[in-house]
Each structure stands twice: as structure tokens, then as C-alpha cells.
Structure 1
Amino acid sequence: MTAGETVRGLLELLRPVNVIAASVLTFIGAFVAGGVTEAPVAVAAAVAATGLAVGAGNAINDYFDREIDRINQPERAIPRGAVSARGALAYSLVLFALATGLAVTLPLLAIGIAVVNLVALVAYTEFFKGLPGVGNAVVAYLVGSTFLFGAAAVGEYGDVEPAVVLALLAAIATLTREIIKDVEDIEGDRAEGLRTLPIAIGERRAIALSAILLAIAVLASPVPYLLGYFGVAYLLVVVPADAIMLYAAAESVGDPTAGQSHLKYGMFLASLAFIVGRAVPAVSGL
């Protein structure tokens, strides 16, 4: 195995797209809180810590999944021999250490969130992934908490409350999408002996549960406007996002693949609504 192959394997273990996405969510959390310009160093540390922690979590998950991946994902870095199992474990530990080093420079609330998230990332594959609904809930929490982590990083310079609402809405929407993805993958998961939520309670009940969760998120989406965090500009973006997500939930009954894909677009637009909500009033007073 060449050095180039090893480097490529280490990069693959990170899942760069996931790392970048999580880092962006952390920045959005800080922006929504309103403290980016006042605490740029803390925001940079939080963004970097998020990326490192997510990469470390992906690497250690591949370490725990290495035997299953030899059968189901033989092209991944460990099964194909680009990175040894021991090397992947050491790599993840180094990344976790770097993430921890950055996190401890942040305010106390951010440190607390980082500790919980690091434990969840390490324990996900070994303990939570195989429990019906629990693994989905852990993933949903981790996505929502990235916003909250970014907001907590700016400390006294920002207002964490709007980011709390964003984190809760994002977690609920992510949980909905995770359940729908499990419905989409039900045949393969059943063949592999996995016990996901749709397998445990049935596809129809799983879809119904995801629809209820999404309805809660949609009904709660005007809260930032009603509490005076954001102006009308926020509503102008979040209402179309709600419409897309509700359409996706209905679509999932007949086509889970298309439904979860459209739900992702709705979630992106909902995140954009929070950015607009924070940015526009400062410009135009809307």
C-alpha cells in the first residue's frame, strides 16, 4: 500500500462532506446567536472543534464497523487495507484530542455540550446504533447540538435563545428524516439482521411517527417570530420551508427515497430562514 493510498484512506475516514456540513452548522449557530464579529476566535475554535470531532467520530465508527464493512462495504478504507484498524483507532483518538483541546478554550456551556457530544460520537456505533429509534435520536441530537454549540461558543457576546429553538427544530426534523431513511432501507437492514425502528414497529407506524414529529416542528417554527427574536423576513423564508417539509412527509408514504431527499431541502431552507432572520433586521429593520 502506497503512502498516497494511506493518505486517501485517512481522508475517507473523515467523511469530508459531513465534516464541512457540521462545521457550517456550528458557524450558523454562532451567527444566529449574533456573536460572530464580537468573538471571532471562539467561533473559529468551535467550528474547527466540530469538524475534528465529527471526523474522529466517523473514523472510530469505521473502526467498530470494520468486520461488517468487510462484507457490506469492502471498498472502505479499513477493509481494502488503505488504513489498518489500529491506525484508524489511533487516528480517531488524535482527532478527538485536538477537538478537546480547542473545546476547552470555550465558555463552560460549550465545553459541556462538547463533552456530551464526544461521548455520544464514541458510543454511537457500539451501543446506540442497533437500538430501534435510539440511534436515530442520537444522530438527531448531534445535528441539533451543532447549532447550540456554535451559539454557546460566543458566550456573553450573543443571545443563545434563538439558537436553542433552531437546535430543537433541527433535531426534530433530523429525527424525522432518519426514520424515513430507515423505511427506505428496510429491506437491506432486515437482510443484515438489523433492528431499526421501522422493522420494530412497522413501516406505516414509523411513517406516521415521522409525520407527527414533523408536524410538531412545523407548528413550532413561528416561535422565533412570535417571541420577537426575528422579524417578518424570517417568516417569508420559513413558511416555504415548512411547505416543502410537509410535502416531503406526505410523499414519504409512497416514496420514502424522494421524501427524505425533499425533506433535506426543506431543512436547508429552514436553516436559511434563521440566517435571514438574524441578518435582515440589522439591515432593513424588517
Structure 2
Amino acid sequence: MEPRKGLGRGLSALLADVASAPTEEAPRRVVPDSSIPIDRIRPNPGQPRRDFDERELEELAASIREKGVIQPLILRPHPVEPETWEIVAGERRWRAAQRAGIHALPAVIRALDDTEVLELAIIENIQRADLNALEEAMGYRQLMDRFGHTQERLGEALGKSRSHIANLLRLLTLPEPVLELLREGKLTAGHARALVTVPSPEPLARQIVEKGLSVRQAEQLARAAVATPPSAGPAPVQRPTVTKDADTRALEEDLTAALRLKVTIEHRAGGRSGELRIRYGNLEELDGLCQLLSR
């Protein structure tokens, strides 16, 4: 059985493979350097990047009209349609080239399976400097869910710290309306991180956007929301404040990222027991948790 390729080959490694001398993988190459009619190129339906900035596409189209497409696309033979090719990397250039009225694009063609295509597409997108925090977090989540990569392995392969990856994955525990504000750029990643620990983050997110609050102001607002007791019902039992150690906080973050639900751990000082709490926001999240735990 062919050994599993390591994570993090990325676009540069893929191009290096094509340009290198013939090896045992030579039969995988179809055409190393081709000009492909643009109407025979199809986007990758599994492309993790969904949002393409209209202004940036127009700027790229203008550049392509003047100088052409300098960097080739990475394509593979389409798995269903004969005589067509599917994009592995370069969808932005393909979209902009259509606007520029280009009829053919330079391409490097490789024979890749679905797993390799998805992994390379995710990695290439994560390595992009203009990727927003939510897209980056979703890329990490896909790599973990689809390929079983751990946060530590991702950090090593992509040059990111485990805490950076864990903090971004925690954003995915926020409700969809808050994620939409983040996706639209109305909230920054810093604003969103401040809301992760808040019981009801959506009203605070709206308040942050409406008032144009800074990240520091959002953090103060979030701390106040967490510290404020419920307006109705019996007064909560006062518990002594316990400072959690770094290992416990890291475990909370890992479980929160893995389950996509807020997880808190209360470990009794000096003892071997405690409580693990999982907070869900709706019945769908509860149902998903039940399915996961019953596997």
C-alpha cells in the first residue's frame, strides 16, 4: 500500500513535483505545461473558499487584460466530464480571466484523487494571506474532520501555534448570525473571540456592530455579560473563585474546538473528580451531540 503523503505539501511543493526530474510518480503526470480553453475548466465543488471579493476580482481582471495570466492554474482531469478539467488551485485567476475575456489559461495538470484535491485546496487557502478568520477556521476543521489531523500536527505542518489554531476553531462554536457578521467583515476575529464565552453572544455582537466598539470594549462588554447574574430566579450559589491551570484551560479549548460546543471543566482542587459541562444553543446542537456520544 502506498504510504500516506504528509500534510503541508502545499502549492509550491506541487509545482516542484511537476518541474522535477522523472520519478516513480511520473505516470501521475498528464501534461506538465498546457494551455487549456477556459470553457473546458470547471470549479472544484469542494473548494473551501466561498467568498471572492468583487473589487479584488476586478483588479485582478484588469491586471490580466494588461499582462495576461502569469501563474498557471493547477488542474486535474474532470472525474465525470470527458475532455474537461477541474480546478485544484487558482479559482480566483479563473474567475478574473473570464471577466477579462481570456479564452485559454496556462495550467499544470496532475492526476489527483478527491482526497488529495481537497487537502491541497484547503492547505493552499490556509496559506493565503487574505484569508479571513472564519475561512481559516473552517479550513482547519475540514483538515481535522476529513483527514484526522490533530491541532499539534496542523501547527507543525503549517507553521502555526496550537493556541492559534485552537482559538480560531473556537469561533465555530458561535451561532450562525454571529458568524455571518464575521464573514461579512462587520466583526473582526478579535471581537468574535471575546464573544465565545458569552451565554448569549448574538445580542452583544449586534451591539458591537451598531456602536462600532473596539476589541477592547467588546472584551469588557463580554466580561460584564458573563459576570452578570440572571435577572430572574433564585440567586446562584456563590462558589469560591478558582484559577484554572494552563493544562485545564488548554483541554477546555481542545474539547470546545472538537465538539463545536462550549465546554467547561471544573476540577476539584486537590481531588481526582470534577465536572465537565457542555453547553448547547439549540435542539439541533443537542441532537448532534447525542449522536456523537452514542457512536
- With normalisation by structure 2, the TM-score equals 0.28
The structure with the greater share of residues assigned to helix is: 1
- With normalisation by structure 1, the TM-score equals 0.28
* Higher normalized contact order (CA 8 Å, seq sep 6+, divided by chain length): 1
The structure with the greater share of residues assigned to strand is: 2
